[in-house]
Amino acid sequence: MRTQVGIIGAGPAGLLLSHLLHLRGISSVVLERRSREHVEQRVRAGVLEQGTVDTLIAAGVGERLLREGLPHEGIELRYGGAAHRIPFEKLVPDRRITVYGQQEVVRDLIDARLAAGGDLRFEVDDVEVHDLEGAPYVTFGGERLDCEVIAGCDGFHGVSRPSIPEGVLTVFEREYPFAWLGVLARVRPSAEELIYARTDRGFALHSMRSPEVSRFYLQVPPDADLADWPDERVWAELKARLETIPGFTLETGEILEKGVTPMRSFVAEPMQYGRLYLAGDSAHIVPPTGAKGLNLAVADVNNLTEALAAYFATGATDLLDGYSAACLRRVWRAQHFSWWMTTLLHTFDDEDAYGRRLQLSYLDYVTSSAAAATTLAENYVGLS
């Protein structure tokens, strides 16, 4: 087999790249080790920046997003027994966020690629990349795919990044002393916008996926065992951390799914080696507090699409040569914002009274200063 771009990974990054390349007349093959059912049902992030929404609409895969997505004009910071709204419509009037599950984005992209005759291969085994500095190719399940470029969109645990020779990459990493217990529940959201709650018991987030389904997160120890979190304990802890202002009652209901997500910051640079280009989680991870993971992947893919379009049209390599540097400018801004939101809202085991007072002081500043609130708002909805 031969194609122009071999894409490893059928998550949002790989699927969107394949579709954008198709719109430019560039062929690709997407290889995914998981089943189609698995990638379509994998619950992940659900906050889309304005730029991500614009990209999906321009690519012709935004019909259901526009119909079912939930546009939000702000978020709430809840701490100290009070609620403080960050109004996007006033601070960044040209941008907002849209709540639309990552798995829905994946379904839309798969449908679009298959409708256009795209070559998507699920449940492939033994994927390996070869000859990255020469004539690259990918082997899988006893087959060989020759291509001019390989895009590694296979996530943090994929094969792409480890295929780069030792000593080429510089890795920057930070692990946090807590995790998130994520809960998906069949219950009407108790608020119209996301609530970020900072309490002495730990952080909590109230989010949603639809008018009938809510998403919640609780800060828990990094070694938390789901067996220790029966439904009754989950709801009790969510109530303790969210019902902290007068008049607010958390609706409860059937819990559909629970999972524990470790918190990590990670960047590997450069995001390219030879004819291999990394995109999304294969190159960088952010703690989910800033809602940046999926959006960074889309930004990477936009950069890579433009670089590949120029290369295949004219042979120009300047955009490909500068791909990593172009992506990393945004990656590091998102890294800082995600770290900042995480340290601002979570409790730390070794935190002393001085550290807690610093947190509360900065929260007071963000919620009372238009300049500070604007900084949060423009980073949250996504920089241009």
What pLDDT, on the 0 to 100 scale, is given for residue 371? 97
pLDDT, residue 44, reads 76
At residue 103, the pLDDT reads 92
Whether CATH 3.40.50.10420 fits 176-263+350-381? no
Q: Are 160 and 150 in contact (CB under 8 A)?
A: yes
pTM greater than 0.85 (yes/no): yes
CA nearest neighbour of 28 among 319, 273, 279: 279
CB 210 within 8 A of CB 70: yes
Instruction: Going residue by residue through the chain, which has 384 residues, state the pLDDT in tens, using 9 for 90 and above.
Output: 999 999 999 999 999 999 999 999 999 999 999 999 999 988 777 899 999 999 999 999 999 999 999 999 999 999 999 999 999 999 999 999 999 999 999 999 999 999 999 999 999 999 999 999 999 999 999 999 999 999 999 999 999 999 999 999 999 999 999 999 999 999 999 999 999 999 999 999 999 999 999 999 999 999 999 999 999 999 999 999 999 999 999 999 999 999 999 999 999 999 999 999 999 999 999 999 999 999 999 999 999 999 999 999 999 999 999 999 999 999 999 999 999 999 999 999 877 889 899 999 999 999 999 999 999 999 999 987
For the chain, report the end-to-end CA distance as a whole number of angstroms. 39
Beginning with the edge strand found earlier in the chain, give each strand of the sheet holding 74-79 in spatial order. 82-87, 74-79, 195-199, 202-208, 214-220, 170-186, 254-269, 284-285
For 66, the enclosing helix (H) or strand (E) is: helix 63-68
Helix (H, G, I), strand (E, B) or coil at 39: helix
Say if domain 5-72+96-173+264-341 classifies as CATH 3.50.50.60: yes
CA 91 to chain centre: 24
Closest CA to 273 of 160, 127, 120: 160
pLDDT at 45: 75
R_g (Cα) of the chain, nearest Å: 21
pLDDT of amino acid 73: 97
Chain centre to alpha carbon of residue 113: 21
Q: Look at residue 347 in the predicted model and tell me its pLDDT.
A: 93
Asked if 5-72+96-173+264-341 and 176-263+350-381 have one fold, the answer is no
Q: Is 174 helix (H, G, I), strand (E, B) or coil?
A: strand
Task: Please report the pLDDT score of residue 273 as a whole number.
Answer: 98
Q: What is the DSSP string of 142-171?
A: TEEEE-SEEEE-S-TTSSTGGGSPTTS-EE
- Cβ contacts of 275 within 8 Å, gap of 6 or more: 132, 133, 136, 148, 149, 150
Active site residues: 72, 196, 288, 292, 380
* pLDDT at res. 43: 74
The per-residue pLDDT for 46 is 87
198, β-bridge pairs: 203
Residue ranges of domains in the chain:
5-72+96-173+264-341, 176-263+350-381
**Residue 349 pLDDT:** 81
Helix 293-314 to helix 12-23 angle, to the nearest 10 degrees? Answer: 30
The closest alpha carbon to 256, from 315, 306, 182, belongs to: 182
CA distance linking residue 116 with residue 362, whole number of Å: 50
In contact, 81 and 360? CB cutoff 8 Å: no
